[in-house]
Structure formats: structure tokens, C-alpha cells
């Protein structure tokens, strides 16, 4: 009987719910704090607090935590257990403790408020943590397990704790061409017209139009 009840609960908790702009699977909290642009996907156990904007077709991962003032561009992919913290505890005051157990929570006004801005077509790997006032450029890749505490340039791959650049995805000329193209702003019919570009391998190339 107990196993049967567990199966029933599991079924209902993992039911896929499709809203106008987002598909939600399982149980997530704070969805009211998010503005979805459309074709977004939120899996189980995501938690949202603050002021969050998620761009068109961007998909999240299992157990993502987004806290604070955060904007994510279009066509981004977030892996499981990713955490974005745009707020931080005070470090220049008497204490970092801002819980309601001390002075009824009055010290919460000392909390540091930052902004995390993530561009378009960004891939954020499993277990990445982003903390502070951070800008992530278009096309960047944040390797699994990285802790990002500094800005990441467009089409740059970063890894490590703290995360450091380990390379660029393309030559500077190709990066400039893609930035000029801004394919993420095109309609689906316009994307169909340039579909061959997405099927090319740009390794050791200097232009996307070869």
C-alpha cells in the first residue's frame, strides 16, 4: 500500500503542466517571480526569488536556484543543480547574519543587491554557481562545477573554482560575424533560411560564410 501511494504521489508531482509560455514539470517554487518570454521549460525542484527574466526558448535544469535580480537571454541551456545568486550577505558589517533570529531581521536591509545578466545562447553546465554582479556574454560556455565570480566575455569557455577562461569557441572574426547576425532575434522562418549555417563546423575557420 505504501509503495502504491508513493507511486501516485510521484505521478502527480511530476505531471507536466503547459502554460502559455512555459512548460513546468514536477514541483517548483516562486514561479510568480519570473517573466517567461516563451517556449521555456522548468523541470522539478527549481526555486525562484527576486526579479527574474528568462528569454525565449531558454530551458532550465533540475534543482536550479535563481535568487535576486537576474536576466537570462534567449536559447540558453542550464544544467542540473545550477545556482545563480545575485544577492549576498554583508561582509563589512559587524555580522553576516541577517536571519530574523537577530533583531527581528532588521539587518536584512544590509544585504548586498547585485545583478546577474546572461546573454543569449549560453550553455551553463551541471553544478555551476554564479555569484555577485556578473555579466555573461553571448555564446559563452560555463563548464560543469565552475564558480563564476567575474564577467565572462562572449564565446569564451570558462572552468574552475574560481572560473577562469580556458579558451574561445571561435576565431575573433567568426565571433564578430555571429554577434552581428544576432540569430537569436530572428523569427522561426528566418532561422530556416540560414539553417545551413547551424550545420557547419567552424573549427579553424575565419568566417561563417565559407
Catalytic residue set: 89
Length of the chain: 210
Distances (CA, A) of 29 to 58, 66, 73: 18, 11, 21
Bridge partner list, 142: 124, 158
Helices vs. strands in the chain: H and E counts, helices first = 4, 18
Bridge partner list, 34: 52
Distance CA 84, CA 70 (A): 8
Amino acid at each position: 500500500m505504501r509503495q502504491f501511494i508513493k507511486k501516485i504521489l510521484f505521478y502527480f508531482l511530476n505531471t507536466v503542466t503547459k502554460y502559455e509560455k512555459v512548460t513546468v514539470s514536477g514541483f517548483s517554487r516562486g514561479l510568480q517571480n519570473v517573466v517567461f518570454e516563451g517556449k521555456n521549460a522548468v523541470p522539478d525542484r527549481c526555486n525562484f526569488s527576486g526579479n527574474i527574466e528568462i528569454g525565449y526558448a531558454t530551458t532550465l535544469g533540475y534543482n536550479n536556484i535563481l535568487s535576486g535580480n537576474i536576466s537570462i537571454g534567449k536559447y540558453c541551456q542550464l544544467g542540473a543543480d545550477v545556482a545563480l545568486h545575485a544577492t549576498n550577505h554583508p561582509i563589512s558589517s559587524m555580522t553576516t547574519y541577517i536571519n530574523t533570529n537577530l533583531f527581528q531581521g532588521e539587518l536584512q536591509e544590509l544585504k548586498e543587491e547585485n545583478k546577474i545578466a546572461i546573454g543569449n545562447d549560453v550553455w551553463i553546465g551541471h553544478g555551476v554557481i554564479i555569484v555577485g554582479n556578473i555579466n555573461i556574454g553571448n555564446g559563452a560556455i560555463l563548464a560543469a562545477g565552475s564558480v563564476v565570480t567575474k564577467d565572462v566575455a562572449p564565446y569564451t569557455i570558462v572552468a574552475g573554482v574560481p572560473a577562469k577562461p580556458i579558451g574561445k569557441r571561435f576565431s575573433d572574426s567568426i565571433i564578430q560575424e555571429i554577434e552581428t547576425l544576432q540569430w537569436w532575434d530572428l523569427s522561426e522562418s528566418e532561422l530556416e533560411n540560414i539553417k545551413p549555417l547551424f550545420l557547419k563546423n567552424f573549427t579553424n575557420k575565419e568566417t561563417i560564410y565559407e
